[in-house]
Amino acid sequence: MNSFKRNIIVTGGAGFIGSHVVRLFVNKYPDYRIINVDALTYAGNLANLKDIEDAPNYLFVKADICDFDKMLSLVRDYGVDGIIHLAAESHVDRSIKDPFTFARTNVMGTLSLLQAAKIAWEERPEGYEGKLFYHISTDEVYGALELTHPDGLPSPFTTAASSSTNHHAYGEEFFLETTKYNPHSPYSASKASSDHFVRSYHDTYGMPVVITNCSNNYGPYQFPEKLIPLFINNIRHRKPLPVYGEGLNVRDWLFVEDHARAIDLIFHKGRIADTYNIGGFNEWRNIDIVKVLIRTVDRMLGNPEGYSDSLITYVTDRAGHDLRYAIDSRKLQRELGWEPTLQFEEGIERTVRWYLDNQEWLDSVTSGDYQSYYEQMYANR
């Protein structure tokens, strides 16, 4: 069973970011066994990993992270020496409707996994110095930043990816690793709580942990309740594009494969007990994203310019909607040499092309549960 150099659990590997992380590790490290632990909720889909499902170093285990006994037997039975924890309830709108599920999975689930990891850590072989527990979190734990420049300032950051036509910042402040936590939604509150538990396992028990807080990801395999895939799908099917408020909220966007590369680097080289922010140095107002998506989808489908503009539908703003998230990830750039590589325009081209070419995948994930949730969410707006 233990012919592999390392045995690593990736939780939430059937989800959006998790599937990219699993794919990267399975392909890049044939001598690691990658054990994907996922409960396959509405957001988990094994079709995301079709291309690697037969790889000899890949294993899928359907399990709920809240099941402590199961987590303990997994870490023991497979001699697990690294956990990359992505499993979570991840959609803010759902957290507003059903906060308990978020507390259960994101807080209790993380705690159950931590406790199992701690027992494995206490049973570790002599001389073991791994980073046992890598917790993936969000920049939303920091709360919101002021949107002081609604028309944008030139961004103070430059990276390999930053020749974007929209190289703006919408305020002067950025989230740093030292920014005080101030979560506003039940989702971000649950993630903040899990971050604190993870740190406490280092501070109390000496367990090696590392945490990263990342901005909004986009790319293939994202569940189409999130802005970018939802809107690509709606433009294609001539459905309304529900834009919250006036669409002026600002988010930083990072291509998911750049995030997966950062996770790989930090898993191997990050400093134990440290936190790293991960971001795209790439702020966009929601309404501008929507316009880019309309232009790109219309062009790819051969529609005349402006054909889908009338689909934009302004809807009542999300309760407690944070105005601006903007992340400063220069610590990661400085200390480990990571920066985003894909320009936003190219990332959007690749993403739109992927969703247009993968209608079957979209149909399979938008049937059933999600369809009724979507109808309920937007029925009265």
Active site residues: 139-140, 187
Smallest distance, ligand NAD to C-beta of residue 282, A: 13
Q: Is 159 helix (H, G, I), strand (E, B) or coil?
A: coil
How many whole angstroms separate alpha carbon 340 and alpha carbon 155?
A: 15
How many whole angstroms separate alpha carbon 261 and alpha carbon 254?
A: 12
How many whole angstroms separate alpha carbon 302 and alpha carbon 296?
A: 10
Identify the residue whose tokens are 């750039």. 333
Q: Is 60 helix (H, G, I), strand (E, B) or coil?
A: strand
Q: Determine the residue type at 23.
A: R
| Token output for 245 | 């408020």
Nearer to ligand NAD, 88 or 332 (CB): 88
Nearer to ligand NAD, 223 or 311 (CB): 223
Query: Smallest Cα–Cα separation from 152: which of 138, 135, 169?
Result: 169
How many whole angstroms separate alpha carbon 47 and alpha carbon 214?
A: 25
Nearer to ligand NAD, 216 or 308 (CB): 216
Q: Determine the residue type at 189.
A: A
Nearer to ligand NAD, 175 or 311 (CB): 175
Smallest distance, ligand NAD to C-beta of residue 249, A: 14
Beta-carbon contacts of residue 87 (< 8 Å; ≥ 6 apart): 11, 12, 15, 18, 37, 38, 39, 65, 105, 109
Comparing every residue's Cβ against ligand NAD, the nearest one is 15
Smallest distance, ligand NAD to C-beta of residue 295, A: 23
Please count the other Cβ atoms lying within 10 Å of the Cβ belonging to residue 156. 11
Nearer to ligand NAD, 308 or 329 (CB): 329
Smallest distance, ligand NAD to C-beta of residue 252, A: 10
Nearer to ligand NAD, 298 or 347 (CB): 347
Identify the residue whose tokens are 């497979």. 78
Q: Is 141 helix (H, G, I), strand (E, B) or coil?
A: helix
Nearer to ligand NAD, 113 or 207 (CB): 113
**Binding-site ranges for ligand NAD (CB under 6 A):** 11-12, 14-18, 38-41, 43-44, 64-66, 86-90, 105, 109, 136, 138, 191, 214, 216-217, 223
Q: Is 109 helix (H, G, I), strand (E, B) or coil?
A: helix
Smallest distance, ligand NAD to C-beta of residue 330, A: 18
Query: Smallest Cα–Cα separation from 230: which of 380, 6, 16, 35?
Result: 16
> Cα separations (Å) of 364 from 89, 166, 369?
20, 34, 11
Smallest distance, ligand NAD to C-beta of residue 242, A: 19
